[in-house]
């Protein structure tokens, strides 16, 4: 089975290991697209509050332990994996107390390191020949009306890749 970045692998039989690997790989690709996105779209997809940390953790999660499986299914080349590892290192180098401006959501538009991170992610997308796709999202919110107004009870965001318009 060939990988289709626009397919929802969560709808497959997840007792089959290859489907789980494709689902995780799909998450990795969506994470790369989110990093490459402009600040407004990043805020829409991730939400305010530690966007940098959230994206770095996602990248680490999806890239971390399953790289060998991605290679085995021929989903990723060594060169592409190296580019992703460099992006992860870029985020790791800016974690902790030394880089509060980079990690500040209000600086997503203006911090020069975010421009670098976006270029790195865009280069990965191009190297994977996925630059004909765009990331979209759908949000589902459930509200309960309280005496003092609306209170959000639950919010879920689903991201997916679609052909560029």
pLDDT tens digit string along 33-55? 999 999 888 888 887 677 777 88
Note whether 128 and 154 are within 8 A (CB). no
What is d(CA 108, CA 43) in angstroms, rounded to the nearest whole number? 9
pTM of the model as a whole = 0.88
Q: Which position has the token pair 């290859």?
A: 18
pLDDT digits (tens, 9 = 90+) for 96-155: 777 777 777 787 888 898 999 999 999 999 999 999 999 999 988 787 777 777 676 677
């Amino acid at each position: 089975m060939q990988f289709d970045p626009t397919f929802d692998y969560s709808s497959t039989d997840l007792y089959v290991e290859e489907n789980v690997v494709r689902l995780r790989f799909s998450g990795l690709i969506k994470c790369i697209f989110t990093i490459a996105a402009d600040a407004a779209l990043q805020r829409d997809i991730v939400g305010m509050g530690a966007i940098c940390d959230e994206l770095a953790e996602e990248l680490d999660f999806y890239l971390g332990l399953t790289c060998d499986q991605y290679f085995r299914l021929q989903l990723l080349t060594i060169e592409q994996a190296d580019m992703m590892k460099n992006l992860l290192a870029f985020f790791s180098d800016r974690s902790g107390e030394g880089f509060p401006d980079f990690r500040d959501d209000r600086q997503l538009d203006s911090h020069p390191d975010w421009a670098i991170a976006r270029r790195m992610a865009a280069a990965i997308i191009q190297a994977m020949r996925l630059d004909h796709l765009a990331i979209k999202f759908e949000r589902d919110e459930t509200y309960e009306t309280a005496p003092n107004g609306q209170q959000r009870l639950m919010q879920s965001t689903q991201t997916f890749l679609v052909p560029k318009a």
